[in-house]
């Protein structure tokens, strides 16, 4: 006889697939013992740069039971964003995740549907949806629930589809059947470390966030330090280098989420066009986009830094 935890887990994973998620894994909510000393060491070395929020809610970041009352399970979900087309070669570059509609909106809607489904099918279940906007170590939870392993570039990697996907969670007060972590398949490969334009991957599995191009072009509010002149590889928002060179990403397949399709103009804009971009055009191209996070002034700052 199938027990209810197993039955409910299968039900949830089937519905997650129907909603368009790439995969779904489940782990027992509790304190992340292995991650605690790593996170503390990383913060003490100031590798978070100006990302002060990384220091906040240290306990909650490591223990979802402090985030969601009576939580029993962390349901981790992956959503593919790998595009079928990329920007023209003669362009300042955007990270592929920012081509379409801001993923926070897209995923939050899917998570709400999944939680509603759980409540309708299973009963009085309480929980919260998380998309990169609360103190949850999403990669650690995804790795614990068999969805992949954390690679030398500190991204979650899978043998099946690489790493071009978003990670999200539902943390709920229902006991389920739990998945087991997978094994590390980076082997002796150092492609990501060798290719990082700013040497931000200071050793395998450790990224100095304050040197990462994604941090410099999005999170950093001050001027980009002059030491990074000529090292930004034409990235004006985010960076995909450590993913682009990862051998596992040869298995990436284009997403099938219409909301992640880019504004048609985005792919054909050249460097000259970017240098002359107006606020009106910025608003039109990046309506509902994650790029709005850096604002027009931030994108102009990045472009000016690259062209100097």
Catalytic machinery residues:
132
* DSSP letter (8 states) at residue 223: P
Strand partners, 170: 75, 129
Opening angle at CA 110, ends 67 and 60, nearest 5: 10
Helix (H) or strand (E) holding 78: strand 73-80
Look at the alpha carbons of 237, 130, 26, 215 in this order and tell me if their dihedral is positive or negative: positive
Show the tokens assigned to 55. Answer: 């220091």
Q: Is 265 helix (H, G, I), strand (E, B) or coil?
A: coil
Distance CA 185, CA 286 (A): 37
Nearest Cα residue to 19 out of 78, 81, 82? 78
Distance CA 52, CA 43 (A): 10
Show the tokens assigned to 292. Answer: 């709005």
Helix (H) or strand (E) holding 44: helix 35-44
| Class of residue 1 by CB neighbours under 10 A (exposed 0-12, middle 13-18, buried 19+) | exposed
């Amino acid at each position: 006889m199938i027990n209810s935890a197993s039955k409910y887990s299968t039900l949830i994973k089937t519905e997650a697939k129907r909603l368009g998620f790439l995969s779904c894994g489940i782990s027992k909510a509790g304190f992340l013992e292995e991650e605690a000393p790593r996170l503390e060491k990383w913060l003490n070395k100031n590798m978070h740069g100006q990302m002060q929020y990384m220091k906040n809610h240290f306990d909650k970041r490591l223990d979802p039971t402090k985030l969601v009352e009576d939580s029993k399970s962390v349901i981790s979900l992956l959503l593919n964003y790998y595009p079928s087309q990329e920007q023209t070669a003669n362009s300042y570059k955007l990270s592929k995740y920012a081509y379409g509609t801001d993923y926070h909106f897209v995923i939050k809607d899917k998570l709400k549907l999944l939680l509603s489904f759980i409540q309708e099918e299973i009963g009085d279940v309480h929980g919260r949806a998380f998309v990169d906007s609360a103190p949850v170590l999403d990669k650690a939870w995804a790795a614990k629930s068999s969805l992949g392993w954390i690679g030398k570039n500190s991204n979650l990697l899978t043998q099946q589809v690489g790493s071009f996907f978003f990670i999200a969670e539902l943390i709920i007060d229902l006991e389920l059947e739990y998945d087991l972590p997978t094994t590390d398949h980076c082997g002796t490969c150092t492609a990501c470390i060798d290719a990082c334009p700013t040497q931000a991957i200071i050793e395998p599995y450790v990224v100095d966030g304050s040197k990462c191009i994604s941090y410099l072009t999005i999170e950093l509010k001050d001027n980009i330090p002059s030491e990074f002149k000529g090292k930004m590889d034409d990235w004006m928002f985010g960076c995909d280098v450590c993913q682009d060179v990862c051998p596992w990403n040869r298995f990436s397949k284009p997403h099938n989420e219409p909301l992640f399709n880019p504004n048609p103009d985005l792919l054909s804009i050249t460097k000259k066009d970017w240098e002359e971009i107006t606020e009106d055009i910025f608003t039109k191209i990046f309506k509902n986009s994650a790029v709005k996070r850096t604002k027009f002034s931030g994108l102009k700052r990045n472009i000016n830094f690259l062209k100097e």
